[in-house]
Structure 1
Amino acid sequence: MMKNKINISLVALAIALIVVSCDREPNYLPKPRGYFRIDLPEKDYTQVDTIERYSFECPKYAQVTPDPYSPNEKNWVNIELPQFKGSIHLTHKPVNDNLGDYLEDVHTMVTKHLQKASGVRDSLIVNEEHQVYGMFIEMDGKGVATPMQFYLTDSTHNFVRGALYFNFQPNNDSMQPVINFIREDINHLINTFEWK
């Protein structure tokens, strides 16, 4: 008798499971991609004044190093962002009646990235107190090599170009929180930039 009750209970449980599992329509839609969680460091800055021609503040999580590919250029540096596998390359050139050539070089570099860019935004930089003028350029799109670049000049003696690069082909959708975070740091660099 007890054995019959157990068998009846098992059969009832099996039927209930079948009914519940068959109730839903099959879902053949692909699952959305998930991205890794990115922990962003706290905002804190330090003064960088070891460069001969200019100074600025950069994030404490970054490391400022000489450009290894241009050892003769004392004013060329990389701001390494190891946590994000990226860097901001800063190159300095003296202005000798050739500012137009440097501006054309920036335009050419931006144009090269337009093939993969889905949008480009630029904004003027004007800091009359420190004689810092320039432009900040952002590019959207999957696979854009440099999502942000800028140039700064005093228009008579100095020209600095900066560009953010990642050490991998970025998917700007998944990297957007990092790009937004670094944008704030680049804006801080620009706002604290001074010529020596």
Structure 2
Amino acid sequence: MKFKPLILIAFIVALACFACKNNDYSPKPKGYFRIEFPKKAYTEFNKPVPYQFKFPVYATLEKDQSRDARANWYNLHFKQFNGYLHLTYYDVSGKGEYNQMVEDARKLAFKHTIKASAIDQRIINYPKQKVYGIYYAIEGNTASSVQFFLTDSAKHYFRGALYFNERPQFDSIAPVVKFIKTDIDTLISTFRWKN
């Protein structure tokens, strides 16, 4: 009987010693899965439309099936990253729509100002190919991270917008956005009008 209180005291002392070993009481940050990026490789987009470009082989080219979709609208589906690059095209020759389209692209990019920490604009200028436009890099917890438009300033207008089917958390998707931005840069630099 004399040993029971002594065993109880020894157990409590041992427990106290082991409990005090780790003095770090701060909460641990959430962890994210490691993202495996595919090797960069590109293929030619060459459908019967007025434009062509190169796009990554790990993205699936899909015809846009939305309610407002037109004949020359496509989506690049980055299935591994649950994201889409929506691509729309308009023939603006003789319709007086060009200035309105450029203004709409600006409004759609700056619509994200509420959540964006920065919106950087870059001029796109490839005079040999008659490809001009503006590239909007949108940072922060926004629905879209990249938007751009390309035009020949006379007949053609092409727009792209990158969206992920996830709740925006810029810090967690930043590596993916950086990876896909390289693909978008390749799309733009290889972009050509067919006529």
Do they fold alike, i.e. is TM over 0.5? Answer: yes
Is the aligned partner of 1:122 residue 2:121? yes
Is the aligned partner of 1:62 residue 2:38? no
Note if contact 2:52-2:193 (Cα within 8 Å) is conserved in structure 1. yes
Query: 2:115 is paired with a residue of what secondary structure?
Result: coil
Give how far 1:170 is off.
2.4
Count of residues in Structure 1 that have an aligned counterpart in Structure 2: 184
Note if contact 1:75-1:91 (Cα within 8 Å) is conserved in structure 2. yes
Superposition map of 1:17-96 within 5 A: 18-19=16-17, 21-22=19-20, 24-25=22-23, 27=25, 29-69=26-66, 73-95=70-92, 96=94
Note if contact 1:70-1:76 (Cα within 8 Å) is conserved in structure 2. no
Structure 1 runs of 4+ with >2 Å offset: 11-26
Structure 1: distance between partners of 2:61 and 2:67: 15
Note if contact 1:49-1:55 (Cα within 8 Å) is conserved in structure 2. yes
Give how far 1:14 is off.
8.9
Q: 2:143 aligns with which of 104, 122, 145?
A: 145
Gaps of 5+ in 1: 1-10
The match for 2:191 is 193
User: For the structure 1 residues 19 and 190, does the alpha-carbon distance in structure 2 shift closer, same or farther, using more than 3 Å as the test?
Assistant: same
Give how far 1:91 is off.
0.5
Is the aligned partner of 1:98 residue 2:97? yes
Query: 1:118 is paired with a residue of what secondary structure?
Result: strand
User: For the structure 1 residues 26 and 66, does the alpha-carbon distance in structure 2 shift closer, same or farther, using more than 3 Å as the test?
Assistant: closer
Which piece of structure 1 moves more, 69-78 or 184-193? Answer: 69-78
User: What TM-score results when the alignment is normalised by the length of structure 1?
Assistant: 0.86
User: What TM-score results when the alignment is normalised by the length of structure 2?
Assistant: 0.86
User: For the structure 1 residues 24 and 182, does the alpha-carbon distance in structure 2 shift closer, same or farther, using more than 3 Å as the test?
Assistant: closer
Query: 2:85 is paired with a residue of what secondary structure?
Result: strand
Query: 2:110 is paired with a residue of what secondary structure?
Result: helix
Identity %: 40
- Deviations along 1:35-60, one digit per CA (max 9) or x if unpaired, are 11111110000001114110000000
Note if contact 2:110-2:119 (Cα within 8 Å) is conserved in structure 1. no
The match for 1:5 is none
Structure 2: distance between partners of 1:108 and 1:72: 20
Please give the root-mean-square deviation of Cα atoms over the aligned residues, in Å.
Answer: 2.1
User: For the structure 1 residues 12 and 88, does the alpha-carbon distance in structure 2 shift closer, same or farther, using more than 3 Å as the test?
Assistant: same
- Deviations along 1:66-123, one digit per CA (max 9) or x if unpaired, are 1101586221111111111111011111123321100111121122211111111110
The match for 1:113 is 112
Give how far 1:33 is off.
1.6
Gaps of 5+ in 2: 1-8
Structure 2: distance between partners of 1:24 and 1:40: 37
User: For the structure 1 residues 132 and 34, does the alpha-carbon distance in structure 2 shift closer, same or farther, using more than 3 Å as the test?
Assistant: same
